[in-house]
């Protein structure tokens, strides 16, 4: 019997922040069809809720001797002919790596993120990791290639030289080195990734959401668009933000020397 996607991917929200949790610790949080559909449903829920402005993606590692955020694709599912179920039409692998969305997602990693697990991390917007974490694309050790974005996103994140070494050797990058290379935003002690992710999420939700969404869009486009296209995109988004109610609120709050009351409109 198939596992329930509702049970192996959980969703909860507190205030302006939603938490999505991979919940297959007994399988090292490997991605099967239920996980992929569960993640996609969770992203749908996040995007549709106007009261939630930021998401945190994490994983349950309870009972694991050596914590694993995600081991990538479930090889048992692939071996049984279910490889197609590991992707969704809108999200790609894990229902996430190619998913278009407005809202920023912070990934909180406390353990190994390897193969497709690393590609999930690379598809997030910000990375919080503990000192016992590591990030790797081990596919070459199994005569495979990283097919869910890792081959082009890792060089963007840490530079071609470091990425080429990690990709061609299949060896994981320790969290401290990943932090110094720029993949990890904040490095914390084991067990503290979620606490730090919530702090970062609270800092983001203190800002105007429309401006956050627009700024995120330009930063992501900068990796592949020309300066002329980025200028046009920035101008279009700037005009939309300036026409919003939140811009008037932000300026009024500044003049009145009080905290702004953002509405996302």
Active site residues: 119, 139
Task: Report the alpha-carbon distance of residue 171 to residue 154 in Å, rounded.
Answer: 13
Neighbours of 65 (CB within 10 A): 6
Q: Residues 134, 78: contact at Cβ < 8 Å?
A: no
Angle in degrees, 0-180, between the axes of helices 160-169 and 150-158, rounded to the nearest 10? 140
The residue assigned the tokens 């084991």 is 190
- Residues with Cβ within 8 Å of 68's Cβ and at least 6 positions away in sequence, in order, are 28, 29, 59, 61, 111, 112, 113, 114, 117
User: CA gyration radius for the chain?
Assistant: 19
Least Cα distance to 47 among 100, 124, 122, 106 occurs for 100
Q: Residues 43, 85: contact at Cβ < 8 Å?
A: no
The residue assigned the tokens 């046009």 is 232
């Amino acid at each position: 019997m198939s596992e329930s996607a509702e049970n192996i991917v959980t969703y909860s929200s507190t205030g302006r922040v939603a938490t999505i949790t991979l919940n297959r610790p007994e399988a090292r949080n490997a991605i099967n069809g239920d996980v992929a559909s569960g993640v996609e449903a969770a992203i749908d829920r996040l995007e549709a809720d106007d009261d939630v402005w930021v998401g945190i993606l994490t994983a349950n590692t309870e009972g694991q001797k050596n914590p694993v955020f995600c081991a990538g694709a479930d090889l048992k599912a692939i071996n049984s002919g279910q490889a197609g179920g590991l992707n969704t039409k809108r999200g790609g692998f894990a229902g996430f790596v190619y998913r278009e969305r407005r809202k920023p997602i912070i990934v909180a990693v406390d353990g190994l993120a390897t193969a497709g697990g690393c590609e999930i991390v690379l598809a997030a917007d910000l990375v919080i990791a503990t000192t016992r974490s590591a990030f790797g694309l081990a596919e070459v050790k199994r005569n495979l290639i990283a097919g869910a974005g890792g081959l082009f996103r890792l060089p963007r994140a840490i530079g071609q030289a470091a990425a080429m070494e990690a990709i061609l050797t299949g060896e994981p990058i320790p969290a401290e080195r990943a932090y110094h290379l720029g993949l990890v935003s904040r490095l914390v002690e084991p067990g503290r990734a979620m606490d730090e992710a919530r702090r970062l999420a609270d800092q983001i939700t203190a800002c105007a959401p429309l401006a956050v969404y627009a700024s995120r869009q330009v930063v992501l486009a900068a990796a592949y668009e020309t300066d002329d296209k980025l200028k046009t995109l920035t101008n279009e988004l700037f005009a939309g933000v300036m026409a919003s109610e939140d811009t008037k609120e932000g300026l009024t709050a500044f003049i009145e020397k009080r905290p702004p009351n953002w509405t996302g409109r």
